[in-house]
Amino acid sequence: TYTIADGHGGTATASVALTISAENDAPAAANDTATTAEDTAVSIAVLSNDSDPDGDTLMVSSVGTATHGSAVVNPNGTVTYMPAVNYDGTDSFTYTLTDGHGGSATGTVSVSVTAVNDAPAAVNDTAMTAEDTAVAIAVLSNDTDPDGDTLSVTGVSAPPHGEAVLNANGTITYTPAANYNGTDAFTYTIADGHGGTAAASVALTITAENDAPAAGSDTTTTAEDTAVSIAVLTNDTDPDGDTLTVSAASAATHGTTLVNADGTITYTPAANYNGLDSFTYTIADGHGGSAAGTVNVSVTAVNDAPAAANDAPHDHLHAGVELRGCRQLHLHHQRRPWRDRDGDGQRHHDPGERCPGRCGRRRRDVRGHGSLHRGAGQRQRCGWRHPVRKWRRYAGARQRGHQREWNDHLHAGAELRGPGQRRLHHRRWARRQRHGDDQRDRDRRQRSAGRRRRCGNDDGRHGGRRRGAGQRHRR
């Protein structure tokens, strides 16, 4: 209402009716701040500090783009901010709110992203190696760290079929088990030095390789002059289980070797040899692998019966030769000794026997010489055999510890016509001890160059030959 007056005392009152039309007031948006950890989203209630003069209900209509992350408006009016991967630092974005009546306002959100250590990323590895061959694997070559931290290998598991060893330079050396081939695997762990760790695996392929066989040494024993078959493969082995064969055998020092089809080796000692011998042999596995072994052979001595060789016709008495009077001729003169076939150097002794027709008595000395003794006036054709036995059986007391050796020989065609008409070769004699050593004993009487020798009957003392005057001796 209002009152009016006319100045003269007159007044009047009236009312005014007003109509006021409504006008919307814009809301007010206050800036916001938030903090979150690296790689961690945060929900921000941006409307909590915003207002509207009209009391209108406010809502976030949009958000701007964050520099180092992203912002999303949620149905409840909050805004979720997600920092970029592994980003830490500050970031910001804007948002717009409205009051539903055309009023709007814009606010800014400042975000602090705190640094957080990021775990490294370990990538699986593969490797290949040959059987029985180690391989070094650079497992860190494909592993990374988001923060750029220096990585290190902190642990290695044990593989089922080998061994894995961590080296100082960060590589891992894998050694497969002996003779193993196939696949294997192990795991390893890395660290970034800030608490971040990761694990990965290494898959391995071990290719097969042929392993050389192993040849063991062999020993065997055989008798003299007796071959022996040796199964040399019985103690030889092959890591791969391959079938082994004998590919060669060397020549033995004192015998011969022969590889048989069944893998054995036949060793035959040299005739009459006894003692130690050896040879080598080579085995093969059929896949390029080979090895050599040694066989040691002990050849035991076996007594061989001695053999008396027939005398050569040179300077020796032989069948059909005629003797007159008493005469002694040696059956041996350097060319043909009575031999012992085993070659052991054993001496022989013939205790003497009479020839058919009683043409004389044959004797043998310790050096293997033989002689025929005949009586005066005997005239016969005579032949004989040599029944030879080992000298050792006749050594000792029976021979009084010694035997004498005569080196005199009558040459073919020589004749003696009475005393002093021809001088024989000067002689010497040796004494043989029981143990077989020679001790020279010179007898000046026997070596006298001026002594005359008489023919006749054997005096039985020094092998001297005696004969009567006018006796002829032919050979």
CA dist., res. 200 & res. 84, Å (int) = 26
Q: Are 59 and 179 in a shared domain?
A: no
Letter for the amino acid at 98? T
For residues 93 and 132, state if they share a domain: no
Q: Which residue has the tokens 């054993």?
A: 346
Whose structure tokens read 């003299």?
224
Domain boundary among 114, 142, 169: 114
Closest CA to 60 of 42, 46, 81: 46
Of the residues 283, 300, 317, the one at which a domain ends: 300
Q: Is 119 left (phi over 0), alpha (psi -120 to 50) or beta?
A: beta
Number of domains in the chain: 4
Check residue 358 and report its DSSP letter: S
Residue 267 and residue 307 in one domain:
no
Q: For the chain, what is the radius of gyration of the CA atoms? A: 63
Same domain, 288 and 352: no
Task: Report the C-alpha gap between 132 and 181 in whole angstroms.
Answer: 8
Determine the structural domain holding residue 345 and report its residue range: 303-475
CA distances to 2, 32, 219, 301, 419 from 228, rounded to whole Å, are 155, 106, 11, 15, 64
156 assigned to some structural domain: yes
Residue 15 lies in a domain: no
Amino acid at 108: T
Distance of CA 147 to CAs 132, 177, 194, Å?
Answer: 40, 39, 10
Helices (H), 386-458: 444-447
Tokens of 411: 């040459």
Distance, C-alpha 212 to centroid of its chain: 8
Burial of 245 (0-12, 13-18, 19+ CB in 10 A): middle
* Residues of the chain where predicted confidence (pLDDT) is lower than 70: 305-475
What pLDDT sits at residue 22? 77
165 within 8 A of 173, measured Cβ to Cβ: yes
Same domain assignment for residues 233 and 327 = no
Question: Other C-beta atoms within 10 Å of 344: how many?
Answer: 13
Question: How do 197-207 and 182-191 pair as beta strands?
Answer: antiparallel
Same domain, 256 and 278: yes
pLDDT number for residue 305: 65
Is residue 351 domain-shared with residue 229, that is, in the same domain?
A: no
Q: What is the strand order of the sheet 245-249 is part of? A: 218-223, 290-300, 275-284, 245-249
CATH of the domain at 106: 2.60.40.10
Does any domain span residue 248?
yes
Q: Which two tokens stand for residue 438?
A: 């020679």
- Domain contains 369: yes
d(C-alpha 56, C-alpha 395), whole Å: 150
Q: Is residue 405 part of a domain?
A: yes
What is the pLDDT, as a whole number, of residue 330?
A: 37
The answer to whether position 436 is within a domain reads yes
Task: With respect to residue 149, please indicate whether it lies within any of the assigned structural domains.
Answer: yes
Edge-to-edge order in the sheet of strand 152-156: 125-130, 197-207, 182-191, 152-156
Q: Cα separation of 379 and 229, whole Å? A: 59
Residue 413 falls within a domain, yes or no?
yes
Q: 242, 272, 300 — which closes off a domain?
A: 300
Do both 57 and 107 map to the same domain?
A: yes
55: tokens are 């009391």
Distance in angstroms (rounded) separating the CA atoms of residues 98 and 75: 14
Do 173 and 225 belong to one domain? Answer: no
- Claim to verify: residue 365 and residue 320 sit in the same structural domain: yes
Q: Are residues 204 and 159 in contact, defined by beta-carbon separation less than 8 angstroms?
A: yes
Q: Are residues 196 and 253 in the same domain?
A: no
Is residue 178 located within the same domain as residue 288?
Answer: no
